[in-house]
Amino acid sequence: MGIDRVGVVGAGQMGNGIAHVLALAGYEVLLNDISDDALKAATKVIEKNLDRQVSREKISEGDKAAALERIGTTLTLTDLGQTDLVIEAATERETVKQAIFEDLLPHLKPETILTSNTSSISITRLASRTDRPEKFMGFHFMNPVPVMQLVELIRGIATDQPTFEACLGVVDRLGKTAATAEDFPAFIVNRILMPMINEAIYTLYEGVGSVKSIDMAMKLGANHPMGPLELADFIGLDTCLAIMNVLHDGLADTKYRPCPLLTKYVEAGWLGRKSQRGFYDYRQDPPVPTR
């Protein structure tokens, strides 16, 4: 399966990062979003991140110019129909993802591979709603995409070997490393990471430590580069809650019950960095804890 043109659905934090690394690796990329403002913002972010790589001498000015030339944008989802691979990177809601694939299906080439960047939702279930479950995979990048080296590849129950090998070839061409995960809730990274973050929130909720002391304890006591509450803000508290709900619902184990404080922050619209408030208030410099 030759892959030259890749469609990316969603121009947010993950989508623009995926478009960035694909274009830098030589793929023709078509980036789609329902918002023109989101597409314009994504283009600016990609250019800014490429400039950072140039300044650090990781790429040349020529590499940057060529990568930007390879990225096209569109508000029309069906324009992605003629690509060889589609990577869906929309919001982490199953109904949204299903609707995207349903709209795309009538316009796809027979050989086009469909993938989702979902961090937790069943690949088998998403694939079953399409006309090509054997050509459907989980393609889970880590955030920030240009920096993080890992990609989780998740096969659904029907995914065939040529599809897996084609996606593995893309990961290799990107210069990243693939970890193969089975199709269980949250896969590998988030199955381990999210309960740790949730436990850190419980530690705050129960008054064991403050935001500052919890994050400092894990940075200095466990040598983590970022504290768990700071990391939750970076990921997005709504995303953390969605993944914990998938784990709780999918595995039916009370150890995955989302902390009520996490739910409360999301209900308040305090989603972390992207909303300027979460466990830290980012309207101040430096950010200050909100509890």
Q: Which are the catalytic amino acids? A: 119, 140, 152, 190
Residue 127 tokens, joined: 């694939």
In Å, how far are 42, 68, 72, 113, 284 from 65, measured between CA atoms?
Answer: 16, 5, 13, 28, 35
Please name the residue that has the structure tokens 């694909």. 22
- Compute how many other C-beta atoms are within 10 angstroms of the C-beta atom of residue 105: 15
User: Which of the 8 DSSP states describes residue 258?
Assistant: P
State the Cα–Cα distance between residues 246 and 138, nearest whole angstrom.
16
State the Cα–Cα distance between residues 186 and 215, nearest whole angstrom.
24
Name residues whose C-beta falls within 8 Å of residue 209's C-beta, 6 or more positions apart in sequence: 203, 217
Contacts 24+ apart (CB under 8 A), 136-142: 136/163, 137/113, 137/163, 137/164, 137/167, 138/181, 138/183, 138/187, 139/87, 139/115, 139/167, 140/181, 140/187, 140/189, 141/14, 141/17, 141/18, 141/21, 141/89, 141/117, 142/189
State the Cα–Cα distance between residues 291 and 288, nearest whole angstrom.
9
| CA dihedral of 5, 8, 12, 13, whole degrees rounded to 10 | -60
Residue 210 tokens, joined: 């403050």
Residue type, 22: L
